[in-house]
Chains A and B, each alone.
Chain A
Amino acid sequence: MTTFNRDAVERRVLGTLRPLIIGFLLLITLFPFYYMVLLSFRPLESVLQDPGALWPKPGEIDFGTYRDVLASQSDGGQGFLNFIKNSFIVAIGTVVLSLLVAIPGAYAVSRLEFFGRRQIGAVFLGVYFFPSILLAIPLFVFFTRIHQRGTLTGLLVVYVAQVAAVSIYMLRNYFDTIPASLEEAAAIDGCTRLQAMRHVSLPLAMPAIASNALFVFMIAWNEFLFALLFLVEKRDNWTVSLGLSQLAGSIEVPTTVLMAGSVILTLPIIVLFFLSERWLAGGLTAGAEKG
């Protein structure tokens, strides 16, 4: 009978704990972002007077913070519009270039027999366990010496090199799942290797390419260390991440204005994430709903 009792007690305790834990997890994951949005709409004085307010008072909502943060410095703002432009250039450039490099690379590693094919994956992956601060030192020195530190191009090249390996890894796994027989059929019809790749495997790999593109975009948009090392002296070239981190230290810019900057930095990522969540975590959460 003791076992039965223990079972009933455990079920009851865990049954009550479970919703509490889920509530707690939702609170810690979502509240900081809610608070970010909240503060971006409240005037600074009222935040200082009433720091505990969890929603804005009626009539208190103020969009002025967004105007302040976006406007260029010459118009008395913080110039985030320019930072957004820089972030987009770097992120989209990284996506395009890394896909151009990684799609053929992944295809080769997955499909073609050549010397060193197996080793290449391991070497590339090993790169990811290196401290990025270690890599940052020589790249900092190198780009300083060729006078390319401070340019978006320099940052772009570094980003492409950093994501190329992980892109190849993701895409190769997908190419591996496409049956080789499809291409062999195309070969019998007279296609060369490259034609078969372009017309058979590439269209089939589109879902993986799209999710890889999103993933690379997120990495480049969020990246901080290299942006800090490369661009910090050139305010015109700051990315949103770098701009926010640099202004966060100054006393002159009100916290609420910077919160508007945080929302601007976070929003594209959250939107992309919820649009593509099924793709990105697809392999893992697939089948989760059948319960």
Chain B
Amino acid sequence: MSLGQLPAGAEVEAPDPAPRPPPRRGRSARAREDRRIGYLLISPTVVIVFAMVVLPILWTFSLAFQHVRLLNLRQTGIIGDFNLDNFEAVLTSPGFVDALITTLVYSVAGTTCAIGLGLVAALALRKPFRGRGLVRACMLVPYVAPVVAATFVWSTMLNPQFGVVNHYGTTLLGWDEPIAFLSSGQPISPFGFDLHVSMSLVTVVLFEGWRSFPFAFLFLTARMQAIPESLEEAAVVDGATPTQRFRYIVLPQLLPTIAVLTVLRFIWTFNNFDDIYLLTGGGSGTQVVAVRVYDYLINRGDIGAAAAQALVLAAILAVLVTVYLKLFGRSEEVA
């Protein structure tokens, strides 16, 4: 669970508190006191979020337009010699477009895997049985487990020399040789199609699906519980088969939830750094922009270029989310 992610139990849409009636005249002293206490109580949060989140974001803009390197950091002021060099260098540098495409493929495929698997899990665990509560709780374990431990155990399991997956793959499934899941930059070509996607990228996408499906599972399960049983009972009476009931009754009810999940998961996967950094370090065709920003910041010590890339990342994300909301926002309200 990265810092940015909502608690599993929180509702997706922020319910706006119901508008209060305007305070009556006799209560104006109380209203004034409320206002004063309100500012008092909220101020610590405002101060810390402003100082540690809002100002830094603004400062990123400033850094992106200056030549700032780790080495000359101590001499750099807030106001410096602003120019567009970083953006020009970053946008034209080799590998940037590739990283962007990799990020897109990773986010779209990872989101699809997570929501797809979450939907399957929610459907499979829909009917009650003994121990279902425990099984449901187990489904959430990949999501709450520390990302470092999860990536470490998977990279050990996928290890070509002594990993358990390759052991059973070669002995039971008849693989010709162990697969280097996390270090193979070779494009995979199932049935002769060249997908321009490396084995490692497929692995990190599947890992993302594994790690994030519990989130989708949780929300879809909650939504399914809110579907009135009478709807489906009526459909059974009318002779609808299980798949028909899913297609015409359950799925339409889930679509708004799936739409919200798509936005949330896409944003978080798009911004994801931890998983790929820990699994492959950004090697063998898995370098997403977030990992590239880290590389510029730490390994090359080029703070200006790192800031410029992070801003480009955020801008592209903002555009994509806006387009998505424009396209699907309306129909969601209807659905």
A binds B: yes
Does B16 count as interface, using CB distance less than 8 angstroms?
A: yes
Given contacts A222-B146, A225-B274, contact A141 B44 (CB under 8 A): no
- Contact B34–A134 (Cβ < 8 Å): no
Given contacts A35-B153, A114-B35, A273-B144, contact A105 B10 (CB under 8 A): no
Interface string of B70-103 (1 = CB under 8 A from A): 0001100000000000000000000000000000
- Contact A14–B242 (Cβ < 8 Å): yes
Tell me if B's interface is mostly helix, strand, loop or mixed: helix
- Contact B135–A22 (Cβ < 8 Å): yes
Q: Which residues of B contact A4 (CB under 8 A)?
A: 239
Measured CB to CB, the nearest residue on chain A to B288 is A133
- Contact B45–A102 (Cβ < 8 Å): yes
Q: Which residues of B contact A128 (CB under 8 A)?
A: 4-6
- Contact B136–A160 (Cβ < 8 Å): no
Partner of B44 from A32, A104, A194 at Cβ < 8 Å: A104
- Contact A129–B4 (Cβ < 8 Å): yes
Does B139 count as interface, using CB distance less than 8 angstroms?
A: yes
Q: Which residues of B contact A140 (CB under 8 A)?
A: 297
* A31 vs B42: C-alpha distance when bound (angstroms): 45
Partner of A101 from B44, B163, B270 at Cβ < 8 Å: B44
Measured CB to CB, the nearest residue on chain B to A138 is B56
Does A206 count as interface, using CB distance less than 8 angstroms?
A: no
* A266 vs B15: C-alpha distance when bound (angstroms): 34
Interface size of A as a range: 35 or more
Does A51 count as interface, using CB distance less than 8 angstroms?
A: yes
* A109 vs B6: C-alpha distance when bound (angstroms): 18
* A130 vs B33: C-alpha distance when bound (angstroms): 35
The distance from the CB of B208 to the nearest CB of chain A, in whole angstroms, is: 13
Sample (18) of A-B pairs whose CB atoms are under 8 Å apart: A10-B243, A25-B135, A29-B138, A51-B162, A104-B44, A108-B37, A129-B4, A133-B294, A138-B63, A140-B297, A141-B303, A194-B37, A265-B146, A266-B149, A273-B144, A277-B140, A284-B218, A285-B221
Q: 9 nearest interchain CB pairs? A: A291-B128, A161-B52, A114-B38, A112-B38, A138-B56, A104-B41, A108-B41, A105-B45, A134-B310
Residues of B within 8 A of A (CB): 1-11, 14-17, 20, 23, 30-31, 33-35, 37-42, 44-46, 48-49, 51-57, 59-60, 63, 68, 73-74, 120-121, 124-125, 127-128, 132-133, 135-142, 144-150, 152-157, 161-164, 167-168, 171, 210, 214, 218-219, 221-222, 225, 239, 241-243, 267, 270-271, 273-274, 278, 290, 293-294, 297-298, 303, 306-307, 310-311, 313-314, 317, 321
